[in-house]
Amino acid sequence: MLKEEVVGQEERLLNGDEAAAWAAYHVEPDVVAAYPITPQTIIVERFSEFVADGLVRTEFVSVESEHSAMSACVGAAAAGGRAFTATAANGLQLMNEILYIASTLRLPIVMAIANRAVSGPINIHCDHTDAMNVRDAGWVMLFCEDAQEVYDTIIQAFKIAENPNVLLPVMVSFDGFLISHTAQKVKVFKDPSVVREKFLGGPRKPAKIKLMGHEVELSLNPKNPIPVTFGPLDLYDYYFEHKRQQSLAMQNAYEVVKEVHEEYARLSGRRYGDGVTVPYRLEDAEIAVVAMGSAPGTMRYVIDEMRDEGIKIGLLRIRLFRPFPYRDIIEKLRNVKVVGVFDRAQDQGMMGGPLFLETRAALYELESRPKVVNYVFGLGGRDAPPEMFREAFDELVGINKGTIKPFIRKYIGVRE
């Protein structure tokens, strides 16, 4: 273990959006291109204040749509700059086309998502359907539990994205309103140079590639000895290899997420599990709950209550959703008997929610498999109180005892 040198920090009262804006302030990207959408808007409002007050030298590009926000980020990152944006829900869907292009061009863009239900019907409140709809776009995807984690993770995201073995864009999600608009004490570094210089190592240094016998910067830099053509037509003779390389980069991201998380922890003193998953009271658990976002906070409260009653239940919070940490899930849930996977996302026509499908598929690797059931909850910001989770957890206890028949999926907190 390397020495931990926690550096100077100060506490501020920030909501999740403000924490994201502070992270961007401390990183000082070259370009922030963004478009307002609830519940993300506070991020760009705060950030434009930092620009207006001269605290950052970032070019803030106030684009006319999210599609153009991502397009401008692609241009900025290809030019060799650091690019950041933020959006939610419909804005993320409008970007979809360019998300795939950003990852394929291997551009280390960072984006904050204040997770919100996707229209229609139009709804501004939290669920994860927006992020789930873009889960195959080739972005590294991290889900945060609170505003502190938002600040920490956005800073980490730049370092993950720019790692030469990764070179992929990173999406940092947090629950709309529940986190984006809820103020809490957030520790931020006193000196932004800790983030910019010490942690990120100064300005972005685009990767070097070999091109026609020359070493060139993978950017639009006119000084390159051989100019780079970005985004060529790529047909059946090369496309597949490029997609394969991209999937290798995504695999590489797994270790890099852990390393960067640990490196950051040494500066900040804060850890979120190993950066990939965050287990809670799982050691001797017979029943495990799997979830993402802010719901695990409520779940831990219920788990403590049940533990006091002698029930062996624990939680595995998934922090890294892409690349999906299936090995961790297999390892951490190897000995449990029943798993309840909680999806805050739609499952239209699927066997269950996305988190459920992948968790269950991971556990299929085990010789002796736990029962895995799915709960869909909290769509469109529907409240997810402890009592609702308690009822579901009791059901998992019943499945473990054999008094309740296992099922595939249930919807909770909804009028049927």
Partner 1 sequence: MQKRWVPTPIEIAKKPDYILSGHRLCAGCAAPIIVKLTLKAIPNPENTILVNATGCLEVATTIFPYTAWKRPWIHNAFENAAATASGVVAAFKALKKKGLWKDEEPTIIVFGGDGGTYDIGLQSLSGAIERGHKFVYVLYDNEAYMNTGIQRSGSTPFAAATTTSPAGKVIPGKPEWKKPIGFIVAAHMNAYVATVNPFYWQDFVMKVRKAIDYDGPAFIHAISACDRGWRFEPSLAMRISKLATDTCLHPLWEFDPETREYRITGQSLYLAKNPDKIVPVEEYLKLQGRFRHLFRPVRRDDLIKTIQNRIRKEWNYLLKLAGFKS
What residues make contact with partner 1 under the rule CB under 8 A?
Answer: 30-31, 33, 57-59, 61-65, 67-68, 71-81, 83, 97-98, 101, 203, 219-222, 224, 227-235, 237-238
Rounded Cα–Cα distance for residues 330 and 358 (Å): 11
Maximum distance among all Cα pairs of the chain, rounded to whole angstroms: 72
For residue 288 the two structure tokens come to 């495990």
Q: How far is the CB of 214 from partner 1 (least distance, A)?
A: 14
For residue 294 the two structure tokens come to 């802010």
| Nearest CB to partner 1, comparing residues 191 and 305 | 191
| Nearest CB to partner 1, comparing residues 104 and 129 | 104
Nearest to 328 by CA among 390, 380, 275, 394: 275
Q: How far is the CB of 196 from partner 1 (least distance, A)?
A: 10
401 in Cβ contact with 392 (< 8 Å): no
Q: Quick one: three-class SS letters along 57-69?
A: CCEEEECCCHHHH
Rounded Cα–Cα distance for residues 186 and 15 (Å): 8
Q: How far is the CB of 149 from partner 1 (least distance, A)?
A: 28
For residue 216 the two structure tokens come to 């060139």
Apex 13 CA angle, 127 and 142, nearest 5:
35
| Nearest CB to partner 1, comparing residues 75 and 314 | 75
| Nearest CB to partner 1, comparing residues 150 and 167 | 167
Nearest to 322 by CA among 127, 82, 143: 143
| Nearest CB to partner 1, comparing residues 3 and 57 | 57
| Nearest CB to partner 1, comparing residues 62 and 165 | 62
| Nearest CB to partner 1, comparing residues 65 and 251 | 65
| Nearest CB to partner 1, comparing residues 237 and 308 | 237
The enclosing H or E element of 34 equals strand 31-34
141 in Cβ contact with 131 (< 8 Å): yes
Q: How far is the CB of 228 from partner 1 (least distance, A)?
A: 6
Count Cα neighbours of 62 within 13 Å in the Cβ-side half-sphere.
10
Beta bridge partners of 143: 173
Other C-beta atoms closer than 10 Å to the C-beta of 361 total 13
Q: How far is the CB of 78 from partner 1 (least distance, A)?
A: 5
Q: How far is the CB of 212 from partner 1 (least distance, A)?
A: 10
Q: How far is the CB of 165 from partner 1 (least distance, A)?
A: 23
Q: How far is the CB of 65 from partner 1 (least distance, A)?
A: 7
Write the DSSP assignment of 191-211 as a string of letters.
SHHIIIIIIT-SS--PPEEEE
